[in-house]
Structures are given as structure tokens and as C-alpha cells.
Chain A
């Protein structure tokens, strides 16, 4: 059964299919364009951060329990952060990163934290004992 009418002109269904394909192609092009822009933006930010890392001459200023520390590393693990104060933070306390506007994040010993100026941490007792009642 042919999709053309007797005069060979496209039927209504053929026109709808053609419009559908064109719309799909247009959406695909737009999607690819958006992805390209996002990738370019991501790469630009990565390059900027890398440049900042490479060019940075001064240490990062961070705080743990309201005491300031200056660190030169770009990343520190939870264990390395625990070793900064004197005496170091023991296992009887948990270490948290202050998350402005969100829930403060507990930092595990092996977790890597990217340094930046103004980063704040605090410690808290790791446990409290239930009473008898």
C-alpha cells in the first residue's frame, strides 16, 4: 500500500513523519551543543584551578576548632588534618568540615579534602554514653 496519493504528493502521515524527524534532529543538535558548552566550561574551570594551584605561592589559611593553620598542600586527608593541632586530634573525637548552608560533613581519615582559604573544621566527641533509664 503506497503512502502517496494518486498524484504522487506526500500524504499527511508522511508530512508528520518528516516533521518529527526534523524535530528530532534539531533536538539532537541542541543537546550536542549544550554538552559541548558544558564540557568547555568544565575544562575552563579545571584549567583555571590547575593554573591557580601551580602559581599559588602562599599557604592556605584554614581553621580547626577556631584555631588557624597555614597549609601548603592542595589536598589533605582527614588523618593529615587531625595531625595539624598539637596535640593531634585523637580517635575519641570526630572531625567535621563546616558546610555553609548545609549539613556539616564528617571527614573520614582517608578522605581527601581540597584546601581553600577560609575552610573551617571542628571536632566533636565521637560518642556519648546512654544512661540507665
Chain B
């Protein structure tokens, strides 16, 4: 189960979200997650998969369906793989924390969503 502060966060900031489990993994699906400018669509469904042990175990990667690409055609690193989850094909954004980056007891879905937003801004044309 998700910690109560994660549930509160999702209820406040991720309208229409769905939390399910698949093979022991908690799946958080945010429909029509709004994307920053510079991508080929304004929104896409966002999937986060939380391994058993979360929140002590950090999240790893995230997924979009439909796939998210830059408007200028430049390929975003480590986003070309496709994976099946929840009966759909997803674009995998392969992203990993190094040891110690995720602070158990402090980090949460709130910080992970903030990080995803930040990474999307960096991946967009003109992002740093």
C-alpha cells in the first residue's frame, strides 16, 4: 500500500489517477499528464511502477503512452524501448538513481513527480 502522504499527494495533484497492482508492483497511472512545451503532444498517460519495499526502495524509471517525442525530432536518450504493462504498450523512460540519491523516509511521490517534471523540462528543446 502507498503511504498516506502519497495518497494525499495523488488526490491533490493527480486528478483521475489510478492505483493498481501488477505482479506485486504498485502501478500509479496518471491519465493525460500535462507535458511542457517542446513535445509532440500536450499530454500523455504517465505510469510509475513502485517495487515491493517502496518507499524504502526508490522508484525506478517511468513510462508514457502514447510515446512522447521532441517536436524537433531529436531523440531523447533512453526512451526508445517499449514495454507492456497493464495491457498496454508503454514508452519506457529508463532513468535510475545512484545509491543514496533517494532518501528513504523523506522522498515520496511528491519528490518523484517533481523530479519527472524537471527531467521533462531538461529533455525539451532548449532545456538544460
Contact = CB atoms under 8 A, between A and B. Distances in A.
A26 to B, nearest CB: 43
A118 interface: no
Chain A: interface size category: 20 to 34
Contacts of A127: 115, 118-119
Contacts of B118: 94, 106, 124, 126-127
A65 interface: yes
B40 interface: no
A66 B5 contact: yes
Interface in A18-74: 65-66
A124 B78 contact: no
A122 B111 contact: yes
Nearest to A65: B106
Contacts of A8: none
Interface residues of B, number: 26
A98 B8 CA distance: 13
Interface string A90-133: 00101010101101101000000000000000111111111111
Interface of B: 5, 12-13, 61, 77-78, 80-81, 94-98, 101-102, 106-108, 110-112, 114-115, 117-119
30 contacts: A65-B106, A92-B101, A94-B115, A100-B12, A103-B117, A104-B110, A106-B114, A122-B108, A123-B111, A124-B107, A124-B111, A124-B118, A125-B97, A125-B111, A126-B118, A127-B118, A127-B119, A128-B96, A128-B101, A128-B115, A129-B96, A130-B77, A130-B78, A130-B94, A130-B95, A131-B61, A131-B94, A131-B95, A133-B80, A133-B81
